[in-house]
Amino acid sequence: MYRNILCLALGLIVGIQLTDFLEYFQLTDSQFASTAITQLEEGATPQLATEEELALWLHNETRVLCMVLTLPKNHQTRVRRVKDTWGRRCNKLIFISSQEDRELGVIDVGVPEERNNLYLKMRKALEYVYQNHGEDYDWFLKADDDTFVIMENLRLLLYPYDPEAALYFGHRFRTTFPQGYMSGGAGYVMSRDALRRLNLFAFNNSQFCPINNMSEDRQIGFCLQNVGVVAGDSRDEEGRDRFLPLSLKFMLPTFPTNNWLPKLTFYEPVNETGSTSGISFHYVKIHEFEMYEYLLYRLRIFGTPLSQRSLPSRLGPDELQNQLNLWAQENSTNSNAWLQPN
C-alpha cells in the first residue's frame, strides 16, 4: 500500500515538472526575454535583450537621485513639467527651492532666491541629500528646471562605473583650475563617493571649498577637484557631447562658433554635435517638455526594427583605477591648445 502511494506521489511530481518544462519551451520571444531578465536580476547582467528590457533592468541596477533647482514662481509650471516628463524616470526626484511644497516634492533649503546665492543653495541641497539619502542611491544628478534629461541614456553611461569611485560627469568647461567644471545647466552627475567626499571633507574646509559668490557649477567643480574627485569624459565614441549646455536649436546641425560656448568648452569640439546617445538639453521652454516627451517616448517610426544589444562591461577595480588615472592626467595637462588666441 505504501509503495503504491509513493509511486503515485512520484508520478505526480514528475508530471508537474514535465509540464512546466514543456511550457517553458513554448514561450513566445517576448515572454522568454522577460523570464531571462527575471532570472538575472539577482546578479548577472542581462545580455541580448531588447534595449527596452535593458533600460527597465538598469532602472533598479543603476539608481539615480535627481536634484532639480527651482524657484517658488516655477512650482506650478516648470516643476510640474519636469515631474510629469523626464523626472518620472528618476529613482528619486527632489526639487530644491526656498519654499516647501510636499505635493510636488519641493524642499525648502532656507536660502533666499538671489543669483549670488545659487552656490550656497546647491551646497545646502547636497548636504540635505547626503544626510537623508546618501547611502540609498548610486548616483546623484543635479539639473535646472529648464533641463531635459534622457535618464535611460544617463544610466547607460554610468553603468560600467562603480559608484564608490570618486567620479563625476557632465559637459566640461575650462576655467582657472586644471580639471575645469561641469555645466550646471546641462546637468552634472556625481557618484556616491563624490557626494560623500563633498560632505565629509570639502564643505567642512574653507580652503578646499570656500563660500563665495562665484557661480554654482564652477565652485562645486572646484570643491570636487580639491577632494580628489575626477572629472570623467562623457563624450561618445565620435567625440560628440552627450550633455548639451544649450538648446538643441543652437547645437544642431553643427557645433556653434558664434557664441560664448567655444571659449568655455574643455575639449576641442567636433563639427557634428548630434550624439545618438545624448543625455541632456538645456534652456528647454515650458511647452517643449511635452514636445521632447512625445518625440522621444511616444512617437514610433514604422519599420524600425526592435534592436537587441549587450550592455557595456563593468570595469573591474584595476580597469577603473587605470581609467581614473588617465582622466586625471588628461585633466592636469589639457592646455586647450585648439583654441585660437583672441
Residue 64 in contact with residue 139, Cβ under 8 Å? Answer: yes
Cell (9 digits) for 342:
583672441
Strand partners, 68: 95, 143
- How much is the pLDDT for 249? 80
Amino acid at 8: L
Residue 182 DSSP class: E
Residue 40 in contact with residue 46, Cβ under 8 Å? Answer: yes
The mean pLDDT value for 306-310 works out to 71
* Structural domains of the chain, with CATH: 49-298 (3.90.550)
Distances (CA, A) of 312 to 47, 62, 157, 159, 303: 10, 13, 9, 8, 27
- How much is the pLDDT for 69? 97
- pLDDT for residue 101 is more than 70: yes
Helix/strand/coil for 265: strand
- How much is the pLDDT for 116? 87
The answer to which of 102-106, 211-215, 230-234 has the lowest mean pLDDT is 211-215
Residue 306 DSSP class: -
Q: Supply the pTM of this predicted model.
A: 0.82
Percent of the chain with pLDDT over 70: 80
The two beta strands, 308-309 and 49-50, are: antiparallel
- How much is the pLDDT for 23? 45
The two beta strands, 148-149 and 280-281, are: antiparallel
Residue 45 CB contacts under 8 Å (≥ 6 apart), including other chains: 310, 311, 314
Amino acid at 204: N
Residue 137 in contact with residue 41, Cβ under 8 Å? Answer: no
- How much is the pLDDT for 333? 65
Element (H, E) at 65: strand 64-69
Helix/strand/coil for 277: coil
Residue 140 in contact with residue 195, Cβ under 8 Å? Answer: yes
- pLDDT for residue 214 is more than 70: yes
Confidence of residue 4 (pLDDT cuts 50, 70, 90): low
pLDDT digits (tens, 9 = 90+) for 272-288: 667 889 999 999 999 99
Q: CA 242, CA 143: separation in Å to the nearest integer?
A: 14
Give counts: helices (H), strands (E), the chain.
12, 13
Residue 299 CB contacts under 8 Å (≥ 6 apart), including other chains: none
- pLDDT for residue 18 is more than 50: no
Residue 54 CB contacts under 8 Å (≥ 6 apart), including other chains: 46, 309, 311
Residue 2 CB contacts under 8 Å (≥ 6 apart), including other chains: none
- Give the residue carrying C-alpha cell 535646472: 144
- How much is the pLDDT for 259? 73
Q: Give the count of beta carbons closer than 10 Å to the beta carbon of residue 8.
A: 10
Q: Would you list the DSSP string of 104-140?
A: TTEEE-S----GGGHHHHHHHHHHHHHHHHTTT-SEE
pLDDT digits (tens, 9 = 90+) for 61-98: 999 999 999 999 999 999 999 999 999 999 999 999 99
The mean pLDDT value for 129-146 works out to 97
Q: CA 255, CA 240: separation in Å to the nearest integer?
A: 9
Cell (9 digits) for 202:
570639502
The mean pLDDT value for 173-186 works out to 91
Which of 120, 122, 66 has the alpha carbon at shortest distance from 91?
66
The answer to which of 55-59, 122-126, 298-302 has the lowest mean pLDDT is 298-302
